[in-house]
Structure formats: structure tokens, C-alpha cells
Amino acid sequence: MNIHEYQAKALLRSYGAPVSDGQIVTRAEEAKTAAGKLDGPVWVVKAQIHAGGRGKGRFAEAEAGEKGGVRLTRSVSEAAEEARKMLGRTLVTHQTGPAGKQVGRVYIEEGSGIARELYLALLVDRQTSRVAFVCSTEGGMDIEEVAAATPGKILSFSVDPVTGYQPYHGRRIAFALELEGQQVKQCVRLMGQLYKLFMEKDCEMLEINPLIVTDVGDLKCLDAKMGFDSNALYRHEDILALRDESEEDPKELQASRYDLNYIALEGEIGCMVNGAGLAMATMDIIKLYGAEPANFLDVGGGATKEKVTEAFKIITSDENVKGILVNIFGGIMRCDVIAEGVVAAVKEVGLQVPLVVRLEGTNVEKGKAIINDSGLNVIAADNLSDAAEKIVKAVKG
Ligand code: GDP
Ligand code: MN
């Protein structure tokens, strides 16, 4: 789960990390009062979306010469005016895709004087199973570009979880970032704060780009991107409260409400399967027969009829879906429950595309009878490859 920059900065602040003062604005009328609480002479107005590259991004239907999602202003009224212009509009950056993202919140921040822009990130290094620091003197630009053009300018190392963060880690980063004097001490302290935050809150990613040296020579976090391990959110109510559902895929959001393991994909065949392993195998075999899965969906072990109905509705609401494959191996999950869910969902939302059903295991005969008696136009399949072949044929002819 990702959070907004302003939320990440509040977390950073609570761990003692240096960030600017700011105010969040969701309605244009609030902008002037909010900006008025901050000191100038520069106010930075920043669109809050879960995507980077806002500064270089463009608003849909932008006026000629109009700036992107990060704007420097020189008065409270100018800041309020720019905030008003951003709210409700769609911002397109290289990370949002061409559709862009709608700006529902704008952050107004006290402007900083910048001497240097640096790059810093913490992430989970899956190769070493450790938390790694990544830093570079080339801040303010995409780290992917730096990695491609000048890989020598990136320092990366992981931290041994037994010792945890040690001051020498911070000094190593300070040296790589060519910091001097008081900045070295600030760096050692800041890296410790970031590591602590990362571990305590079960982060997946924490990126400060840019980390700046201010015009008076201090370190400051000017931007912040933070992602958390969704599997650990149950023990972080404070983080879960920061979730912005408007940033999520509506189908995935609906699925999470029903505790379904659902991930939207690009293909044309909707899949309803029980068990992650069988779901993967089903996706593989669809590909083998020449089509692409439209989703990963594991309805889980003890799914109810309501849950199955909801899962089926989510699949059919995807307009890319040209056919549906239900593949259930009834163990804990009973085939008749799946059948009842499918029939109930079709009665509610109709069925515009071919449907292949393969049932096996507990109560399979009962399940098949429910589907046969329903009058639904279902293509029955006997095994996995038969099912995949039939649905691909039904879709592609
Ligand atoms: P991003 O484009 O989404 O990564 O947003 P950032 O928060 O990183 O801002 C983009 C760029 O705007 C930064 O790299 C800075 O160059 C500039 N910027 C942001 N805040 C300030 C500020 O307070 N003062 C100045 N002078 N520039 C800023
Ligand atoms: Mn940035």
C-alpha cells in the first residue's frame, strides 16, 4: 500500500527527520487560509497523487505554458490560486500512464532554498533478504536513468539485521554523497531515523528524491514516497488509516472488501479459481493455449456463496473479459457452493460471454447438477487442459 507525500512527511517528522512545514488542502476555499499559516517568501504547491514525476508532469487540457504538478509561488494568494487550479484536474506523469490521475488533494509547503539535490532510498533487497540503502549524488531525476547512464554514481548496500543500523552506515552514505561538516552528523542521524521508521512500520520502500542540502547547508527531505507491506497492515492501524482508496483499482478495491485475492491483468479470459497454486497453473495453461488471463483470482478455502457471487461480479465488470473460466478443485471449498455462487451472480448481472466450468472434488456431482438445472449456457469441462482449450476456442474461435 502506498501513501501520499504529505502523509509520508508527517511520518518522517514524527521520527525527527527534517521536512518543511506544510498544509494539506482538499477544497479550493481552504487554500488561502492554509497557505496563510505558512511562512514565505516562497510557497510550493504540490499535487498529491500516488505517482512520481509530478514536477515534469502535465495537466490534461493544460493552458499554453502552464506548469506541472509542483509549482513555486511568491505569495499566499498566488499559492492559493495555483492550488485552486490543480484541484479536481487530471495530472499525467510518466508514472501515471496516459490516463493520468485526478488530483483530490494539494499540499502547500514552505519553500526551501536548494544548494544540492541528492537521491536516497531504503528498500527490501530480496536477493540478500535485507533492507538496503541506495544513494546517489544525482538527485531530482529518475534513479532508473542514473542507473542506466552512470551506474558508478549509485551506492547501494544492505544492513545486517543482527546489528541493525550503525553510525558507520550513515558515514558511508555521507561520504558517497560528498557531504561536509555538520551535514555528516545530520546524515548519520537521519539515516538512523529512516531505518527505524522503515523497520517499525513494515515499509517496502522509502524514497527521498530529492534529499537536499539547503542554501544554509542543512539536510532536508524535500520529497517522500513510501510504500508498506500489505501483509503487515493488520498490525499498523495508523498506517492503514492513511489509505486513499481513490488511488486504487476499483475492482481490486471491491475484491479486498470481500477478502478475495484478486489482481487485475491485461488479458481477455477471466478466471475464478480456488487456491493460489491452481490459479497460477490455470493462468499458465490459458497462455499455453494461446490466450491471456484477465486476472488472478483466488476465492480462498472457505468461501461463502456471497463471496463467490461477488468474485464473479468483479470478473464480469471488466470489459476486457471476453470469456470466463471457472476452475475449482473442491477440497475445503465445496463445488456446490461455487456452483450456487456462479448461478446467483449470473442471475443478478447476466452473462454476455462464454463460460467454461470445470469442477472436481468435494460435492462435484451436486455442483454439476446445480449448474445443469440452472438453465445457464455453460460449457462443461472435465480437466484443466480441456477447460483451457474450450474457453480459448470459445473466445478466439
Ligand atoms: P516529483 O516531481 O513528483 O518528484 O516532485 P518533487 O517533490 O521531487 O519536486 C520536483 C522538483 O521540484 C524538485 O526536484 C525540486 O527541484 C523542485 N522543488 C520542490 N520543492 C521545492 C522547494 O521547496 N524549493 C525549490 N527551490 N524547488 C523545489
Ligand atoms: Mn521527487
Query: Where in the chain do CATH 3.40.50.261 domains reside?
Result: 250-396
Tell me, using a 6 A CB cutoff, whether residue 227 lines ligand 1: no
Q: Encode pLDDT of 115-129 as tens digits.
A: 999 999 999 999 999
333 is in an annotated binding site: yes
Q: What is the pLDDT of residue 44?
A: 98
d(CA 66, CA 181): 40
| CA dihedral of residues 383, 386, 389, 395 (deg, nearest 10) | -80
- Among the listed ranges 79-93, 139-153, 177-191, which one has the minimum average pLDDT value? 139-153
- 394, pLDDT greater than 80: yes
Residue 202 banded pLDDT, cuts 50, 70, 90? very high
Q: Encode pLDDT of 91-107 as tens digits.
A: 999 999 888 999 999 99
Whether residue 74 contacts residue 42, with contact meaning beta carbons closer than 8 Å, is answered with: yes
Whether residue 361 contacts residue 383, with contact meaning beta carbons closer than 8 Å, is answered with: no
CB atoms within 10 A of CB 284: 12
CATH no., domain 114-240: 3.30.470.20
Q: Encode pLDDT of 11-23 as tens digits.
A: 999 999 999 999 9
Q: What is the pLDDT of residue 115?
A: 98
Expressed in angstroms and rounded, the spacing between residue 277 Cα and the centre of ligand 1 is: 44
- 254, pLDDT greater than 80: yes
- Is the domain 21-110 a CATH 3.30.750.24 member? no
Count of alpha carbons within 13 Å of 54, Cβ hemisphere only?
27
Q: What is the pLDDT of residue 382?
A: 85
d(CA 86, CA 88): 6
Query: Where in the chain do CATH 3.30.1490.20 domains reside?
Result: 21-110
Residue 304 banded pLDDT, cuts 50, 70, 90? confident
- 301, pLDDT greater than 80: no
Q: Write the residue with the smallest CA distance to atom 15 of ligand 1.
A: 140
Q: Which ligand is nearest to the CA of 56?
A: 1
Tell me, using a 6 A CB cutoff, whether residue 54 lines ligand 1: yes
Residue 257 banded pLDDT, cuts 50, 70, 90? confident
Mean pLDDT of 124-153: 94
| Ligand 1 probe mutation, 137, 223, 225, 226, most atoms within 8 A of CB | 223
Identity of residue 101? K
367 is in an annotated binding site: no
Residue 302 banded pLDDT, cuts 50, 70, 90? confident
Q: What is the pLDDT of residue 268?
A: 96
Query: Where in the chain do CATH 3.30.470.20 domains reside?
Result: 114-240
- What is the three-class DSSP state of 373? helix
Q: Encode pLDDT of 263-290 as tens digits.
A: 989 899 999 998 899 999 999 999 999 9
Mean pLDDT score across all residues of the chain? 94
High-pLDDT (> 70) share of the chain, %: 100
Element containing residue 389 per DSSP (H, E):
helix 384-396
Expressed in angstroms and rounded, the spacing between residue 231 Cα and the centre of ligand 2 is: 27
Tell me, using a 6 A CB cutoff, whether residue 117 lines ligand 1: yes
High-pLDDT (> 90) share of the chain, %: 77
Mean pLDDT of 371-380: 88
Name the residues annotated as catalytic: 119, 207
144 is in an annotated binding site: no
CB atoms within 10 A of CB 151: 9
Q: Encode pLDDT of 205-226 as tens digits.
A: 999 999 999 999 999 999 999 9
250-396: what fold?
Rossmann fold (3.40.50)
d(CA 87, CA 196): 34
Mean pLDDT of 350-360: 92
Expressed in angstroms and rounded, the spacing between residue 127 Cα and the centre of ligand 1 is: 32
Q: What is the pLDDT of residue 332?
A: 81
pLDDT: which is higher, 119 or 253: 119
- 241, pLDDT greater than 90: yes
274 is in an annotated binding site: yes
Residue 380 banded pLDDT, cuts 50, 70, 90? confident
Q: How far apart are the first and last CA of the chain?
A: 40
Q: What is the pLDDT of residue 259?
A: 86
Expressed in angstroms and rounded, the spacing between residue 170 Cα and the centre of ligand 2 is: 22
- 248, pLDDT greater than 90: no
Classify strands 269-273 and 323-330 as parallel, antiparallel or unpaired.
Answer: parallel
Q: Is the backbone of residue 375 left (phi > 0), alpha (psi -120 to 50) or beta? A: left
- 303, pLDDT greater than 80: no
Tell me, using a 6 A CB cutoff, whether residue 141 lines ligand 1: no
- Helices and strands per DSSP (H, E), number in the chain: 13, 20
Tell me, using a 6 A CB cutoff, whether residue 53 lines ligand 1: yes
Mean pLDDT of 57-61: 95
